Amino acid sequence: MSLFLGIDGGGSKCDAVLVDETGMVLGWGTGGSTNYNPPEVIAASFGQALDMACGDHDLQDVTVSTLMTQGGACDWLKERGVSFRHVSAGETVGAFRISQLNHGIVVLAGTGSFVHGRTRDDRRLQVGGLGPTLGDEGSGYDIGLRALRSILRMPRRSGNHTELRTALLKTAGVSSQWELVRMVYGGRMGRAQIAALCPTVVAHAEGGDSMALEVLRGAAGELCGSVSIVLNELGLVGAGYPVIGVGGVIQGVPLYWEILSDMIRHLDPTLTFIVPPVKLVMGAVFEAMARTGLVVTPELRERVAETQKRFPASVVRTVG
C-alpha cells in the first residue's frame, strides 16, 4: 500500500500527516515552530511531529510532500534509512488542492499571512508573506502584537480598561507591563510567543470584550487591504471569484473569518467564500497523490475528512 506523508512547518507549529492511498489518515503529529529558528530547534520540531505521525508504520513505499522548503523533515527520514520520493509544493498549491479549485484568491492567516490571486487564465499576484518585520498583516502574530500595543497604551485607571490586559499578562506569564516590555526587547518573546497570545484575544472577543474585538477588526482590515490590492491589480472585481480562507487563524477562529469575510464582501459582492474542511498540510498530501498519478476522487476526500477526526490536532472549526 502506497503511503503519503504531508508536512507543513510554520511560524508556531509543524503539522505532519500520514495517509494511505485509499485516503485513510493513519497518523497526525504536531511539533514546534520551524520558521526563524536555529537548525537544532527546527530539527526538534520536525522530529516531534514526524514521530507522532509515523509511529510504528512501515514507511517502505512513501511519497513525502512538503510545503515550502523544509529539508529538516527529509533529514529525519534519511537518518532512519527510509527510502522516499520527495515532492515540494507551495502553500498556495496546497490551498488550491484542498479547496478543489485551480483559480481564486487564497487568503492565508496563521502565524504569518499572505494573499495570493490566480486568474482563470493563470495570471498570478501575491501580496504579503514578508514575515514579522515587513509583513504578517492580519495574522496571529499581528493580532497578538496589536493586543500588546493596545494594553500597553492604556493607563490602568482608564475608564476603557477591559479584562484583556490582565488576561494577556497572565498568558505571557508576567505580572506587570514592564516585565512584558523587557521580555519583548530582551528576545524572550519572539514571533511565535506573540502569536500565542492570539487565542486569548479571540476568547475575550468572543465574550464581547470591546478592546479584543477592536484588535480583531484592525487585523482583519489590514488583511482585507491586501485582498483589495489583488482584486484591483488582477482586474477581478465583479468576476465572481472564490475567496479561499486557510491557516490556523481563519480555519480555527469562526469569529475572525466572519469579520474578515464581511469586510472583503464589501469590496466585491460577487465573491464567494470557501473554508476547506481540512488543514493546509492535507494539500501537500493531495499534491503528492496527484504527482504520482493517483486520482484524488470525492470518495477519497470524504475518507480523509472522516478518518482525520480521530486526531484532535486535525480539527477545523470553520467550514463554509
CATH of residue 40's domain is: 3.30.420.40
Q: In terms of domains, do 82 and 127 share one?
A: no
Does residue 97 form part of some domain? no
Nearest residue to 158 (alpha-carbon basis) of 211, 112, 223, 108 = 211
User: Do residues 274 and 257 lie in contact, with contact meaning Cβ atoms separated by under 8 Å?
Assistant: no
294-304 pLDDT per residue, tens: 999 999 999 99
The predicted pLDDT at position 171 comes to 92
Does residue 23 form part of some domain? yes
**pLDDT digits (tens), the chain, 320 positions:** 789 999 988 777 889 999 999 999 999 998 887 776 777 888 888 888 999 999 888 888 888 888 866 667 778 888 888 888 888 888 999 999 999 999 999 999 999 999 999 999 999 999 998 888 888 999 999 999 999 999 888 765 455 556 898 899 999 999 888 888 998 899 888 888 999 999 999 999 999 999 999 999 999 999 999 999 999 999 999 999 999 999 999 999 999 999 999 999 999 999 999 999 899 999 999 999 999 999 999 999 999 999 999 998 887 875 44
Question: How far is residue 319's CA from residue 85's CA, in Å, rounded to a whole number?
Answer: 32
Does residue 319 form part of some domain? no
Of 216, 236, 258, the last residue of a domain is 216
The predicted pLDDT at position 161 comes to 56
φ, ψ dihedrals at 51, nearest 5°: -60, -45
Q: In terms of domains, do 226 and 111 share one?
A: yes
pTM score, whole prediction: 0.89
Q: In terms of domains, do 153 and 12 share one?
A: no
Cα dist. 299→16, 35, 62 in Å?
A: 22, 35, 21
The predicted pLDDT at position 320 comes to 44
| Count of structural domains within the chain | 3
Q: In terms of domains, do 239 and 209 share one?
A: no
Residues in the chain: 320
User: Do residues 10 and 68 lie in contact, with contact meaning Cβ atoms separated by under 8 Å?
Assistant: no
Q: In terms of domains, do 115 and 263 share one?
A: yes
The predicted pLDDT at position 42 comes to 80
The predicted pLDDT at position 135 comes to 82
The predicted pLDDT at position 9 comes to 81
Does residue 94 form part of some domain? no
Q: In terms of domains, do 11 and 70 share one?
A: yes
Q: In terms of domains, do 201 and 166 share one?
A: yes
DSSP states along the chain: --EEEEEEE-SS-EEEEEEETTS-EEEEEEE---SSS-HHHHHHHHHHHHHHHHTT---SSEEEEEES--HHHHHHHHHTT--EEEEEE-HHHHHHHHHT-SSEEEEEESSSEEEEEE-TT--EEEEE--HHHH--TTSHHHHHHHHHHHHHHS-TT-TT--THHHHHHHHHT-SSHHHHHHHHHTTSS-HHHHHTTHHHHHHHHHTT-HHHHHHHHHHHHHHHHHHHHHHHHTT-TTS--EEEEESHHHHH-HHHHHHHHHHHHHH-TT-EEE--SS-THHHHHHHHHHHTT----HHHHHHHHHHGGGSGGG------
Interior/surface letters 121-142, b for 16+ CB within 10 angstroms, e for the rest = eeeebebbbeebeebbbbbbbb
For the record, the C-alpha cell of 172 comes out as 505571557
Of 216, 246, 261, the last residue of a domain is 216
Q: In terms of domains, do 79 and 16 share one?
A: yes
Structural domain harbouring 173: 140-216
The predicted pLDDT at position 29 comes to 92
Question: How far is residue 187's CA from residue 128's CA, in Å, rounded to a whole number?
Answer: 24
φ, ψ dihedrals at 245, nearest 5°: -95, 125
Q: In terms of domains, do 158 and 31 share one?
A: no
For the record, the C-alpha cell of 320 comes out as 463554509
217-244 pLDDT per residue, tens: 999 999 999 999 999 999 999 999 999 9
Sign of CA dihedral 194, 197, 199, 201: negative
Does residue 156 form part of some domain? yes
Distance of alpha carbon 134 from the chain centroid? 18
Does residue 96 form part of some domain? no
Q: In terms of domains, do 185 and 235 share one?
A: no
Does residue 302 form part of some domain? yes
Q: In terms of domains, do 161 and 212 share one?
A: yes
Of 216, 241, 260, the last residue of a domain is 216
Question: How far is residue 125's CA from residue 123's CA, in Å, rounded to a whole number?
Answer: 7
Q: In terms of domains, do 156 and 294 share one?
A: no
